[in-house]
Chains A and B, each alone.
Chain A
Amino acid sequence: MIRGKVVIAQDICKGCELCITSCPQESLGLSDKINIKGYRFVELVKDNCTGCVNCALVCPDAAITVYRQRKEVFKANQNMKKAV
């Protein structure tokens, strides 16, 4: 599966959890810590993000940046696995 990762602006996050609900991989969860605004912020809790962007789409605070593995890197990794 193609890999992704998210970077969450933790000081901007208001912990509304809409991203958590929208994540098909259940990769996101609320932190036990609180941010500068006093909200428990969202963080990546599982290393299975696919970079589908759903979380960023529903984020009301534009707090989420999504990365995805570049196709050529993904293909190279696949080929390497096959070779192994």
Chain B
Amino acid sequence: MKLPPITNGFEIVYKKPDTLTDTPMHYCPGCGHGVVHRVLMEVVDEMKIQDKTIGVAPVGCSVFAYNYMNVDMQEAAHGRATAVATGIKRVLPDRFVFTYQGDGDLAAIGTGETVHTVNRGENILIVFINNGVYGMTGGQMAPTTLLGMKTTTSPYGREAASAGFPLKITNLITQLPGALYVTRQAVHEPNAVRRLKKAVRLAFEYQLLKKGTCFIEVVSNCPSGWKMTPQESNKWMEENMFPMYPLGDLKVPSQTMN
């Protein structure tokens, strides 16, 4: 949709960035993926780095992320996004490289790749969407599923005795010297989106320092998987997900660089 920049004394103060394609997103109503895609591409747009940015899409709901983010992209095998991104960044060290991964992709099947990519301090940005459930395959238990939380594969609620504990992988990778900037954000309300955008901007800028991996977890919702309306899902997220996955910076560069 092309709209005039100025009309009748009014000017555009917010529009979809050109770095997002016009393809309508396939995500369920109210899903946080769309917001995170847009924020990433807004930063790419504002930094004017579309020609230097290469993204890696995961397997999961955001498997088609490359249909929406208007940059060169590669589609990785399940869990291998950071390995693919390592391959790209190592041969094109002056490009901005990011991965976009869900909790199943990054914290279950891709745990090895995640840990070692960060431990090598690859100069990439890892965007990790944590909604505690496998969305694409229909709402199965994820490594980040909360205790007691019902999913199609934990129908009586996740029990630690058999299914283990929610994996706080972001806290785990914070311990690694290769991690430069680690933060946990959300997109459930306008100010959270503003904060996420600042974090993404920093993470892209930090890539120029070549001092380590930037890791942004976005605690997000899954209205379909959680079987709630979008509003209910955001409220539930604030009440249940945030206590387990508190928002804020876990590691900022000054700590690393001194």
A residues apposed to B, CB below 8 Å:
3-5, 7, 9, 11-12, 14-18, 21-22, 37, 39, 51, 53-54, 56-62, 64-70, 73
Contacts and interface: CB of A to CB of B under 8 A. Distances in A.
Interface string B198-225: 0000000000000000000000000100
Contacts of B20: 62
A62 B16 contact: yes
A65 B230 contact: no
B247 interface: no
Contact of A57 (B30, B193, B231): B193
A22 B188 CA distance: 9
Interface stretch (B5-13, B88-96, B151-159): B5-13
Contacts of B11: 67-68, 70
B5 to A, nearest CB: 9
Contact of B14 (A53, A61, A70): A53
A19 to B, nearest CB: 10
Given A58-B193, A60-B25, A65 B187 contact: no
Interface of B: 1, 3, 6-7, 9-16, 20, 24-25, 27-35, 38, 187-190, 193-194, 223, 229-231, 234
Given A66-B14, A73-B9, A7 B30 contact: no
A58 B38 CA distance: 10
Given A16-B30, A16-B230, A66-B13, 17 more contacts: A11-B24, A17-B30, A18-B30, A18-B230, A22-B189, A39-B29, A56-B14, A56-B15, A58-B187, A58-B190, A60-B30, A60-B34, A62-B20, A62-B25, A64-B14, A67-B7, A68-B11
Contacts of B27: 60-61
A65 B38 CA distance: 13
Given A15-B29, A58-B35, A59-B35, A9 B1 contact: yes
A57 B198 CA distance: 13
Contacts of B1: 7, 9, 65
Contacts of B16: 62, 65
B189 A67 contact: no
B3 A51 contact: no
A65 B187 CA distance: 18
A4 B194 CA distance: 20
A66 B194 CA distance: 16
A65 B231 contact: no
Nearest to B20: A62
Nearest to A10: B1
B9 A66 contact: no
Nearest to A15: B29
B29 A16 contact: yes
A58 B193 CA distance: 7
A49 B37 CA distance: 26
